[in-house]
Amino acid sequence: MIPHGVEIFVGLEPIDLRCGFERLAGVVEERLGRQTRSGALFVFFGKRRTALKVLFYDGTGLCLFYKRLDAGGFQVPRGLEEGATHLAVEEHVLEELLDGLRVEAPTRGPRPH
């Protein structure tokens, strides 16, 4: 159900999942250096990695998706570069993340800005 061709950015640092729309939008712009209303999907994990939030703009407003796993935790991909704050991933990687599967960071460089 992820739109084909959409940019997807995974935040690598855990966040407080009590954050709402405005605070997450601030994280996108301050930590990830991206525009919240660009149409991209922004994925954030909590400290325990048992839950995540996805923030995106659908053209009319900000949307927030929240998922908590019943058992286990999400496997956050590691950044390719030391000190990386986010990672660009493909649609299939996000689908695997949402299913709770272990995913690896892409072997190619990040998408162009």
36-95 pLDDT tens trace:
999 999 999 999 989 999 999 989 999 999 999 888 888 877 666 777 889 999 888 888
Q: 29 — alpha (psi -120 to 50), left (phi > 0) or beta?
A: alpha
Higher pLDDT residue, 33 or 75?
A: 33
The position carrying tokens 């405005």 is 22
Do residues 41 and 6 make contact, with C-beta atoms less than 8 angstroms apart? Answer: yes
The domain ranges of the chain are 8-99
CA–CA separation, 61 and 72 (whole Å): 32
State how far Cα 93 lies from the chain centre. 11
Query: Would you say the pTM of this structure is higher than 0.85?
Result: no
CA–CA separation, 56 and 38 (whole Å): 8
